[in-house]
Amino acid sequence: MDFDQDDRELLRAVSGYLTSAQEFAHAELRARRTPLGDVISAHLGVDAETLPIVQESIAEHRLVDADIALELLSAESDGRLIGVTGGEQRQHQSMTEYVGNGHFPYGPGPVDYVERASGPGTTRRVVALGVRLLHFDGQPLAMTQRGAAPQFGRRSASLEVMGADSDVVSGFLAAVRARMISHSVLRGRVLSFVPTEYGQDAGATFVPRPSVAAEDVVLPDGLLDGVVQHVIGIGEHRELLRASGQHLKRGVLLYGPPGTGKTLTVRHLLTRAPDMTVVLLSGPSIRFVSAAAEVARTFQPSIVVLEDIDLVAMERNASPQPLLFEVLEALDGLDGDADVAFVMTTNRVEVLERALAERPGRVDLAVEVPRPARAERERLYRHYARGLGFGDEALRAATDATEGVTGSFAKELVRRSVLRAAERGEAPGDADLSAALAELLDARQELTRRMLGDDPGAGEGSAPQGFPPHGAY
Protein backbone atom coordinates (compact mmCIF):
# COMPACT_ATOMS: atom_id res chain seq x y z
CA MET A 1 0.00 0.00 0.00
CA ASP A 2 1.31 3.44 -0.91
CA PHE A 3 1.25 6.25 1.65
CA ASP A 4 1.67 9.93 0.97
CA GLN A 5 3.88 12.12 3.13
CA ASP A 6 1.05 13.11 5.50
CA ASP A 7 0.12 9.47 6.09
CA ARG A 8 3.72 8.57 6.84
CA GLU A 9 4.08 11.36 9.36
CA LEU A 10 0.82 10.34 11.04
CA LEU A 11 1.96 6.71 11.30
CA ARG A 12 5.28 7.79 12.76
CA ALA A 13 3.47 9.85 15.35
CA VAL A 14 1.12 7.01 16.27
CA SER A 15 4.04 4.56 16.51
CA GLY A 16 5.98 6.97 18.71
CA TYR A 17 2.96 7.45 20.92
CA LEU A 18 2.40 3.72 21.33
CA THR A 19 6.09 3.17 22.14
CA SER A 20 6.00 5.94 24.75
CA ALA A 21 2.76 4.59 26.22
CA GLN A 22 4.25 1.10 26.49
CA GLU A 23 7.40 2.40 28.16
CA PHE A 24 5.33 4.47 30.55
CA ALA A 25 3.13 1.46 31.41
CA HIS A 26 6.19 -0.69 32.06
CA ALA A 27 7.74 1.99 34.23
CA GLU A 28 4.52 2.28 36.20
CA LEU A 29 4.41 -1.48 36.71
CA ARG A 30 8.03 -1.58 37.83
CA ALA A 31 7.52 1.26 40.28
CA ARG A 32 4.32 -0.10 41.79
CA ARG A 33 5.19 -1.29 45.29
CA THR A 34 3.10 -4.09 46.74
CA PRO A 35 1.30 -3.91 50.10
CA LEU A 36 3.95 -6.25 51.48
CA GLY A 37 6.60 -3.94 50.01
CA ASP A 38 5.02 -1.05 51.92
CA VAL A 39 5.30 -2.99 55.20
CA ILE A 40 8.91 -3.91 54.54
CA SER A 41 9.80 -0.36 53.46
CA ALA A 42 8.24 1.08 56.62
CA HIS A 43 10.32 -1.31 58.73
CA LEU A 44 13.55 -0.53 56.88
CA GLY A 45 12.95 3.21 56.75
CA VAL A 46 13.79 3.31 53.03
CA ASP A 47 12.12 2.23 49.79
CA ALA A 48 12.70 -1.54 49.77
CA GLU A 49 12.69 -1.52 45.94
CA THR A 50 15.96 0.39 45.97
CA LEU A 51 17.87 -2.16 48.07
CA PRO A 52 19.87 -5.17 46.86
CA ILE A 53 18.99 -8.66 48.10
CA VAL A 54 21.59 -11.14 49.37
CA GLN A 55 20.61 -14.80 49.00
CA GLU A 56 22.05 -17.72 50.96
CA SER A 57 21.28 -21.35 50.08
CA ILE A 58 20.83 -23.83 52.91
CA ALA A 59 20.82 -27.61 52.63
CA GLU A 60 17.36 -28.89 53.44
CA HIS A 61 18.66 -31.01 56.33
CA ARG A 62 19.91 -27.75 57.89
CA LEU A 63 16.51 -26.03 57.71
CA VAL A 64 15.69 -26.84 61.34
CA ASP A 65 19.04 -25.39 62.40
CA ALA A 66 18.36 -22.24 60.36
CA ASP A 67 14.89 -21.88 61.85
CA ILE A 68 16.28 -22.14 65.39
CA ALA A 69 19.05 -19.63 64.61
CA LEU A 70 16.64 -17.11 63.06
CA GLU A 71 14.18 -17.45 65.90
CA LEU A 72 16.95 -16.70 68.39
CA LEU A 73 18.19 -13.67 66.44
CA SER A 74 14.66 -12.41 65.94
CA ALA A 75 13.87 -12.72 69.66
CA GLU A 76 16.98 -10.67 70.51
CA SER A 77 15.49 -7.65 68.73
CA ASP A 78 11.74 -8.21 69.22
CA GLY A 79 11.40 -9.14 65.57
CA ARG A 80 8.18 -10.25 63.97
CA LEU A 81 7.21 -12.86 61.41
CA ILE A 82 4.64 -12.40 58.65
CA GLY A 83 3.51 -14.51 55.74
CA VAL A 84 2.91 -13.75 52.06
CA THR A 85 -0.40 -13.79 50.21
CA GLY A 86 -0.64 -14.86 46.61
CA GLY A 87 -1.55 -18.52 46.40
CA GLU A 88 0.74 -20.85 44.50
CA GLN A 89 2.16 -17.96 42.49
CA ARG A 90 4.20 -16.76 45.50
CA GLN A 91 6.10 -20.08 45.47
CA HIS A 92 7.65 -19.12 42.14
CA GLN A 93 8.63 -15.54 43.01
CA SER A 94 11.61 -14.03 44.79
CA MET A 95 11.66 -11.35 47.45
CA THR A 96 12.08 -8.78 44.68
CA GLU A 97 8.60 -9.56 43.35
CA TYR A 98 7.14 -9.63 46.86
CA VAL A 99 8.30 -6.02 47.30
CA GLY A 100 7.42 -4.59 43.90
CA ASN A 101 5.18 -6.30 41.37
CA GLY A 102 2.74 -4.46 39.15
CA HIS A 103 1.01 -7.68 38.11
CA PHE A 104 0.35 -9.17 41.55
CA PRO A 105 -0.07 -7.13 44.77
CA TYR A 106 1.56 -9.44 47.31
CA GLY A 107 0.53 -8.58 50.84
CA PRO A 108 1.04 -9.72 54.44
CA GLY A 109 -0.65 -13.03 55.17
CA PRO A 110 -0.39 -16.25 57.17
CA VAL A 111 3.01 -17.91 57.51
CA ASP A 112 3.61 -21.28 55.82
CA TYR A 113 4.98 -23.95 58.17
CA VAL A 114 6.19 -27.50 57.68
CA GLU A 115 7.11 -30.28 60.13
CA ARG A 116 10.72 -31.42 59.99
CA ALA A 117 12.55 -34.07 62.00
CA SER A 118 14.63 -32.63 64.85
CA GLY A 119 15.83 -35.99 66.15
CA PRO A 120 14.92 -39.67 66.07
CA GLY A 121 11.21 -39.60 66.88
CA THR A 122 10.91 -35.82 67.35
CA THR A 123 9.85 -33.01 65.01
CA ARG A 124 9.84 -29.22 64.95
CA ARG A 125 7.47 -26.89 63.13
CA VAL A 126 9.64 -24.65 60.96
CA VAL A 127 8.93 -21.76 58.63
CA ALA A 128 8.53 -22.95 55.04
CA LEU A 129 7.73 -19.48 53.67
CA GLY A 130 7.68 -16.30 55.71
CA VAL A 131 9.18 -12.84 56.05
CA ARG A 132 11.04 -11.81 59.20
CA LEU A 133 11.37 -8.16 60.17
CA LEU A 134 14.09 -7.66 62.78
CA HIS A 135 17.12 -5.63 63.83
CA PHE A 136 20.78 -6.59 63.89
CA ASP A 137 23.56 -4.38 65.25
CA GLY A 138 20.89 -1.73 65.70
CA GLN A 139 19.96 -1.72 62.00
CA PRO A 140 16.64 -2.89 60.53
CA LEU A 141 16.70 -5.92 58.25
CA ALA A 142 14.06 -7.84 56.32
CA MET A 143 14.45 -11.39 55.15
CA THR A 144 12.48 -14.14 53.45
CA GLN A 145 12.88 -17.66 54.82
CA ARG A 146 12.03 -20.59 52.55
CA GLY A 147 12.19 -24.33 52.79
CA ALA A 148 12.98 -26.51 49.82
CA ALA A 149 10.03 -27.20 47.52
CA PRO A 150 11.14 -29.47 44.65
CA GLN A 151 7.59 -29.54 43.32
CA PHE A 152 8.00 -25.81 42.65
CA GLY A 153 11.58 -26.07 41.41
CA ARG A 154 13.29 -25.13 44.71
CA ARG A 155 15.79 -27.88 45.46
CA SER A 156 17.22 -26.29 48.61
CA ALA A 157 16.15 -24.01 51.43
CA SER A 158 17.20 -20.35 51.22
CA LEU A 159 17.35 -16.98 52.93
CA GLU A 160 16.96 -13.64 51.14
CA VAL A 161 18.10 -10.65 53.19
CA MET A 162 17.83 -6.91 52.51
CA GLY A 163 19.04 -3.92 54.48
CA ALA A 164 20.47 -0.47 53.89
CA ASP A 165 23.94 -1.41 55.20
CA SER A 166 25.62 -4.24 53.30
CA ASP A 167 28.12 -4.84 56.11
CA VAL A 168 25.27 -5.38 58.56
CA VAL A 169 23.65 -7.87 56.15
CA SER A 170 26.93 -9.80 55.90
CA GLY A 171 27.34 -9.76 59.67
CA PHE A 172 23.80 -11.00 60.12
CA LEU A 173 24.34 -13.97 57.81
CA ALA A 174 27.57 -14.81 59.64
CA ALA A 175 25.62 -14.76 62.92
CA VAL A 176 23.00 -17.08 61.42
CA ARG A 177 25.69 -19.56 60.38
CA ALA A 178 27.33 -19.46 63.81
CA ARG A 179 24.06 -20.12 65.63
CA MET A 180 23.17 -22.88 63.18
CA ILE A 181 26.31 -24.66 64.39
CA SER A 182 26.08 -23.86 68.11
CA HIS A 183 22.37 -24.79 68.35
CA SER A 184 22.26 -27.55 65.74
CA VAL A 185 19.95 -30.54 66.17
CA LEU A 186 22.47 -32.64 64.18
CA ARG A 187 25.33 -32.47 66.68
CA GLY A 188 25.84 -35.72 68.56
CA ARG A 189 23.20 -37.56 66.48
CA VAL A 190 23.33 -40.60 64.21
CA LEU A 191 22.36 -39.62 60.67
CA SER A 192 21.95 -41.29 57.32
CA PHE A 193 21.79 -39.73 53.85
CA VAL A 194 19.29 -41.02 51.33
CA PRO A 195 18.07 -39.80 47.92
CA THR A 196 14.94 -37.67 47.97
CA GLU A 197 11.86 -38.57 45.98
CA TYR A 198 12.58 -35.73 43.55
CA GLY A 199 16.01 -36.79 42.39
CA GLN A 200 19.53 -37.33 43.51
CA ASP A 201 19.64 -34.72 46.28
CA ALA A 202 20.80 -36.01 49.64
CA GLY A 203 18.33 -35.87 52.47
CA ALA A 204 19.60 -36.48 56.00
CA THR A 205 17.48 -38.63 58.28
CA PHE A 206 17.92 -39.37 61.97
CA VAL A 207 18.70 -42.93 63.04
CA PRO A 208 18.36 -44.23 66.62
CA ARG A 209 21.77 -44.82 68.19
CA PRO A 210 22.33 -48.58 68.58
CA SER A 211 23.03 -50.24 71.90
CA VAL A 212 25.48 -53.14 71.53
CA ALA A 213 27.53 -54.21 74.54
CA ALA A 214 31.10 -55.47 74.19
CA GLU A 215 30.08 -58.95 75.28
CA ASP A 216 27.67 -59.11 72.34
CA VAL A 217 30.54 -58.77 69.87
CA VAL A 218 32.38 -62.08 69.64
CA LEU A 219 35.78 -61.51 68.04
CA PRO A 220 39.33 -62.71 68.66
CA ASP A 221 40.83 -61.36 71.87
CA GLY A 222 42.08 -57.81 71.55
CA LEU A 223 40.55 -57.09 68.14
CA LEU A 224 37.53 -55.09 69.34
CA ASP A 225 39.57 -53.17 71.92
CA GLY A 226 42.08 -52.20 69.24
CA VAL A 227 39.40 -50.81 66.94
CA VAL A 228 37.70 -48.91 69.77
CA GLN A 229 41.03 -47.43 70.87
CA HIS A 230 41.83 -46.21 67.37
CA VAL A 231 38.41 -44.77 66.56
CA ILE A 232 37.41 -43.38 69.97
CA GLY A 233 40.52 -43.45 72.14
CA ILE A 234 42.49 -41.13 69.85
CA GLY A 235 39.79 -38.50 70.24
CA GLU A 236 40.05 -38.69 74.00
CA HIS A 237 43.59 -37.29 73.68
CA ARG A 238 42.72 -34.69 71.03
CA GLU A 239 44.13 -31.68 72.88
CA LEU A 240 47.46 -33.36 73.60
CA LEU A 241 47.76 -34.56 70.00
CA ARG A 242 46.92 -31.13 68.59
CA ALA A 243 49.41 -29.47 70.91
CA SER A 244 52.04 -31.92 69.67
CA GLY A 245 51.24 -31.21 66.03
CA GLN A 246 49.77 -34.70 65.46
CA HIS A 247 46.81 -35.34 63.18
CA LEU A 248 43.47 -36.56 64.50
CA LYS A 249 41.64 -37.63 61.36
CA ARG A 250 41.88 -41.35 60.81
CA GLY A 251 40.70 -44.04 58.45
CA VAL A 252 39.84 -47.57 59.52
CA LEU A 253 39.06 -50.51 57.23
CA LEU A 254 37.28 -53.58 58.62
CA TYR A 255 37.51 -56.45 56.14
CA GLY A 256 36.52 -60.09 56.13
CA PRO A 257 33.83 -62.52 54.98
CA PRO A 258 30.13 -61.67 55.38
CA GLY A 259 28.61 -62.41 58.76
CA THR A 260 31.80 -62.23 60.80
CA GLY A 261 30.84 -59.20 62.88
CA LYS A 262 31.95 -56.09 60.99
CA THR A 263 28.58 -54.36 61.25
CA LEU A 264 28.20 -55.41 64.88
CA THR A 265 31.63 -53.93 65.57
CA VAL A 266 30.48 -50.63 64.04
CA ARG A 267 27.30 -50.68 66.12
CA HIS A 268 29.38 -51.19 69.25
CA LEU A 269 31.56 -48.23 68.28
CA LEU A 270 28.48 -46.02 68.06
CA THR A 271 27.34 -47.31 71.44
CA ARG A 272 30.71 -46.41 72.95
CA ALA A 273 30.57 -42.88 71.49
CA PRO A 274 27.23 -41.48 72.71
CA ASP A 275 28.23 -37.84 72.16
CA MET A 276 29.87 -38.19 68.74
CA THR A 277 28.10 -37.17 65.56
CA VAL A 278 27.77 -40.15 63.22
CA VAL A 279 26.91 -40.34 59.53
CA LEU A 280 26.02 -43.80 58.19
CA LEU A 281 26.31 -44.48 54.46
CA SER A 282 25.74 -47.89 52.92
CA GLY A 283 25.87 -49.13 49.36
CA PRO A 284 24.47 -46.60 46.85
CA SER A 285 24.16 -43.85 49.49
CA ILE A 286 27.98 -43.72 49.67
CA ARG A 287 27.80 -41.28 46.75
CA PHE A 288 26.73 -38.68 49.33
CA VAL A 289 30.12 -38.91 51.01
CA SER A 290 30.91 -35.23 50.35
CA ALA A 291 27.77 -34.11 52.20
CA ALA A 292 28.57 -36.59 54.97
CA ALA A 293 32.12 -35.25 55.28
CA GLU A 294 30.79 -31.70 55.56
CA VAL A 295 28.48 -32.69 58.42
CA ALA A 296 31.33 -34.58 60.09
CA ARG A 297 33.69 -31.60 59.74
CA THR A 298 31.10 -29.17 61.14
CA PHE A 299 29.98 -31.28 64.08
CA GLN A 300 33.14 -33.05 65.21
CA PRO A 301 34.07 -35.16 67.04
CA SER A 302 32.43 -37.40 64.50
CA ILE A 303 32.46 -40.72 62.70
CA VAL A 304 31.60 -41.40 59.06
CA VAL A 305 30.69 -45.06 58.48
CA LEU A 306 30.85 -46.43 54.92
CA GLU A 307 29.43 -49.94 54.93
CA ASP A 308 29.98 -52.46 52.13
CA ILE A 309 32.13 -50.01 50.21
CA ASP A 310 33.20 -52.77 47.82
CA LEU A 311 29.69 -52.80 46.32
CA VAL A 312 30.20 -49.36 44.80
CA ALA A 313 33.98 -48.93 44.88
CA MET A 314 34.41 -48.87 41.12
CA GLU A 315 31.11 -47.16 40.29
CA ARG A 316 31.20 -43.55 39.17
CA ASN A 317 29.21 -40.65 40.56
CA ALA A 318 28.93 -37.30 38.74
CA SER A 319 32.70 -37.29 38.12
CA PRO A 320 34.57 -39.71 35.84
CA GLN A 321 36.67 -41.15 38.67
CA PRO A 322 35.61 -44.18 40.72
CA LEU A 323 33.48 -43.46 43.76
CA LEU A 324 36.16 -44.90 46.02
CA PHE A 325 38.46 -42.04 44.99
CA GLU A 326 35.74 -39.56 45.97
CA VAL A 327 35.66 -41.22 49.38
CA LEU A 328 39.43 -40.88 49.72
CA GLU A 329 39.30 -37.27 48.55
CA ALA A 330 36.64 -36.51 51.15
CA LEU A 331 39.03 -37.87 53.77
CA ASP A 332 41.87 -35.82 52.25
CA GLY A 333 39.73 -32.68 52.36
CA LEU A 334 39.57 -32.71 56.16
CA ASP A 335 42.11 -30.70 58.11
CA GLY A 336 44.65 -32.84 59.90
CA ASP A 337 43.41 -31.69 63.30
CA ALA A 338 39.80 -32.59 62.48
CA ASP A 339 38.54 -35.12 65.02
CA VAL A 340 36.87 -37.26 62.37
CA ALA A 341 37.14 -41.02 61.89
CA PHE A 342 36.21 -42.74 58.62
CA VAL A 343 35.24 -46.37 59.25
CA MET A 344 34.85 -48.53 56.14
CA THR A 345 33.69 -52.13 55.90
CA THR A 346 34.12 -54.53 53.02
CA ASN A 347 33.59 -58.20 52.24
CA ARG A 348 36.04 -58.08 49.33
CA VAL A 349 39.19 -56.24 50.29
CA GLU A 350 40.88 -57.25 47.03
CA VAL A 351 38.59 -54.79 45.23
CA LEU A 352 39.97 -51.92 47.31
CA GLU A 353 43.55 -52.99 47.91
CA ARG A 354 45.14 -51.48 44.80
CA ALA A 355 43.32 -48.15 45.09
CA LEU A 356 44.27 -47.84 48.76
CA ALA A 357 47.87 -48.76 48.06
CA GLU A 358 48.06 -46.04 45.39
CA ARG A 359 46.94 -43.47 47.97
CA PRO A 360 48.85 -44.41 51.11
CA GLY A 361 48.01 -42.87 54.45
CA ARG A 362 44.26 -42.53 53.92
CA VAL A 363 43.63 -45.74 55.84
CA ASP A 364 45.88 -45.97 58.87
CA LEU A 365 44.35 -49.10 60.38
CA ALA A 366 43.22 -52.18 58.44
CA VAL A 367 41.70 -54.94 60.56
CA GLU A 368 40.68 -58.38 59.40
CA VAL A 369 37.50 -59.63 61.02
CA PRO A 370 38.01 -63.36 60.42
CA ARG A 371 35.78 -66.38 60.57
CA PRO A 372 35.51 -67.38 64.20
CA ALA A 373 38.00 -69.93 65.48
CA ARG A 374 36.82 -72.68 67.80
CA ALA A 375 36.87 -70.55 70.96
CA GLU A 376 34.88 -67.76 69.27
CA ARG A 377 32.40 -70.24 67.78
CA GLU A 378 31.63 -71.68 71.20
CA ARG A 379 31.18 -68.18 72.60
CA LEU A 380 28.80 -67.42 69.74
CA TYR A 381 26.67 -70.49 70.38
CA ARG A 382 26.54 -69.73 74.10
CA HIS A 383 25.70 -66.10 73.37
CA TYR A 384 22.74 -66.90 71.12
CA ALA A 385 21.58 -69.77 73.33
CA ARG A 386 21.45 -67.75 76.56
CA GLY A 387 18.55 -68.83 78.72
CA LEU A 388 17.43 -71.60 76.38
CA GLY A 389 18.65 -74.55 78.40
CA PHE A 390 20.96 -76.25 75.92
CA GLY A 391 23.58 -78.45 77.61
CA ASP A 392 27.32 -77.84 77.49
CA GLU A 393 27.96 -81.08 75.62
CA ALA A 394 25.45 -80.23 72.88
CA LEU A 395 26.93 -76.76 72.42
CA ARG A 396 30.47 -78.17 72.27
CA ALA A 397 29.36 -80.75 69.72
CA ALA A 398 27.86 -78.01 67.53
CA THR A 399 31.07 -76.03 67.88
CA ASP A 400 33.24 -78.95 66.79
CA ALA A 401 31.00 -79.76 63.82
CA THR A 402 30.91 -76.28 62.32
CA GLU A 403 34.43 -75.15 61.59
CA GLY A 404 34.45 -72.25 59.14
CA VAL A 405 30.96 -70.91 59.90
CA THR A 406 30.19 -67.33 60.95
CA GLY A 407 28.05 -65.73 63.62
CA SER A 408 25.16 -65.63 61.17
CA PHE A 409 25.19 -69.43 61.00
CA ALA A 410 25.25 -69.74 64.79
CA LYS A 411 22.31 -67.36 65.14
CA GLU A 412 20.26 -69.25 62.55
CA LEU A 413 21.07 -72.63 64.13
CA VAL A 414 19.69 -71.52 67.50
CA ARG A 415 16.63 -69.96 65.84
CA ARG A 416 15.79 -73.19 64.02
CA SER A 417 16.20 -75.15 67.24
CA VAL A 418 13.70 -72.89 68.99
CA LEU A 419 11.27 -73.16 66.06
CA ARG A 420 11.39 -76.97 66.10
CA ALA A 421 10.49 -76.98 69.78
CA ALA A 422 7.80 -74.32 69.31
CA GLU A 423 6.02 -76.52 66.79
CA ARG A 424 5.62 -79.08 69.58
CA GLY A 425 4.68 -76.45 72.11
CA GLU A 426 7.75 -77.26 74.22
CA ALA A 427 10.94 -75.57 75.36
CA PRO A 428 13.97 -76.29 73.12
CA GLY A 429 16.41 -78.99 74.17
CA ASP A 430 19.61 -80.63 73.06
CA ALA A 431 17.77 -82.89 70.62
CA ASP A 432 16.37 -79.83 68.83
CA LEU A 433 19.83 -78.33 68.56
CA SER A 434 21.21 -81.59 67.16
CA ALA A 435 18.38 -81.97 64.65
CA ALA A 436 18.64 -78.36 63.48
CA LEU A 437 22.40 -78.77 63.05
CA ALA A 438 21.93 -81.94 60.99
CA GLU A 439 19.41 -80.10 58.83
CA LEU A 440 21.72 -77.17 58.15
CA LEU A 441 24.69 -79.43 57.43
CA ASP A 442 22.66 -81.53 54.97
CA ALA A 443 24.03 -81.37 51.43
CA ARG A 444 20.74 -79.92 50.23
CA GLN A 445 21.30 -76.89 52.47
CA GLU A 446 24.60 -75.91 50.85
CA LEU A 447 23.21 -72.68 49.34
CA THR A 448 21.59 -71.76 52.66
CA ARG A 449 24.89 -72.24 54.43
CA ARG A 450 26.67 -70.05 51.94
CA MET A 451 24.03 -67.35 52.39
CA LEU A 452 24.81 -67.53 56.11
CA GLY A 453 28.52 -67.08 55.46
CA ASP A 454 29.42 -70.73 56.00
CA ASP A 455 32.63 -72.00 54.45
CA PRO A 456 33.25 -75.47 55.88
CA GLY A 457 36.91 -76.27 56.24
CA ALA A 458 38.03 -72.64 56.14
CA GLY A 459 40.91 -72.18 58.50
CA GLU A 460 42.28 -69.07 60.09
CA GLY A 461 43.09 -67.77 56.63
CA SER A 462 45.83 -65.37 55.69
CA ALA A 463 45.42 -61.68 55.25
CA PRO A 464 45.49 -60.28 51.70
CA GLN A 465 48.86 -58.92 50.59
CA GLY A 466 49.53 -55.48 52.02
CA PHE A 467 47.24 -55.83 55.04
CA PRO A 468 48.04 -57.02 58.55
CA PRO A 469 46.56 -60.22 59.94
CA HIS A 470 43.73 -59.88 62.45
CA GLY A 471 44.81 -58.58 65.79
CA ALA A 472 47.79 -56.70 64.30
CA TYR A 473 47.56 -53.00 64.94
Looking at 87-101, 276-290, 350-364, which range is the least confident one? 350-364
For a pLDDT cut of 90, what percent of the chain falls above it?
49
Q: Once rounded to an integer, what is the mean pLDDT over residues 40-67?
A: 93
- pLDDT at residue 465, rounded to an integer: 35
The yes/no answer on whether domain 374-451 falls in CATH 3.30.70.1230 is no
Compute the distance between CA of residue 41 and CA of residue 48 in angstroms, rounded to an integer: 5
Q: Mean pLDDT of all residues in the chain?
A: 83
Longest pairwise C-alpha distance within the chain: 121
Residue 268 predicted with pLDDT over 90 = yes
* pLDDT for residue 33: 85
Angle, to 10 degrees, between the axis of helix 430-441 and the axis of helix 407-424? 120
Q: Are 292 and 307 in contact (CB under 8 A)?
A: no
Q: Which residues contact 172 (CB under 8 A, 6 or more apart)?
A: 73, 136, 137, 141, 161, 163
pLDDT average, residue stretch 146-150: 83
pLDDT band of 23, cuts 50, 70, 90: low
Mean pLDDT of the 283-289 span: 81
pLDDT of 452 higher than 90: no
461 burial class (0-12, 13-18, 19+ CB within 10 angstroms)?
A: middle
Higher pLDDT, 170 or 457: 170
Q: Where are the domains of the chain?
A: 35-182, 204-368, 374-451
Over residues 363-389, the pLDDT tens digits come to: 888 899 999 999 999 999 999 999 898
- Predicted pLDDT at 462: 35
The pLDDT-based confidence of 3 (bands split at 50, 70, 90) is low
Q: How confident is the model at residue 198 (pLDDT cuts 50, 70, 90)?
A: low
Predicted confidence at residue 460, as pLDDT, reads 43
Q: Is the peptide bond before 301 cis (omega within 30 degrees of 0)?
A: yes
Above 80 in pLDDT, residue 155? no
Q: Cα separation of 412 and 426, whole Å?
A: 19
The predicted-structure confidence for 385-425, as pLDDT tens digits, reads as follows 998 989 999 999 999 988 888 888 888 899 999 999 999 99
As a CATH number, domain 204-368 is 3.40.50.300
Residue 149, classed as helix, strand or coil, is: strand
Pairing verdict, β 250-255 and 365-368: parallel
The pLDDT, as a whole number, for residue 2 is 65
Q: Is the pTM of this model over 0.95?
A: no
pLDDT of residue 394: 92
Contact call for residues 356 and 363 (beta carbons, < 8 A): yes
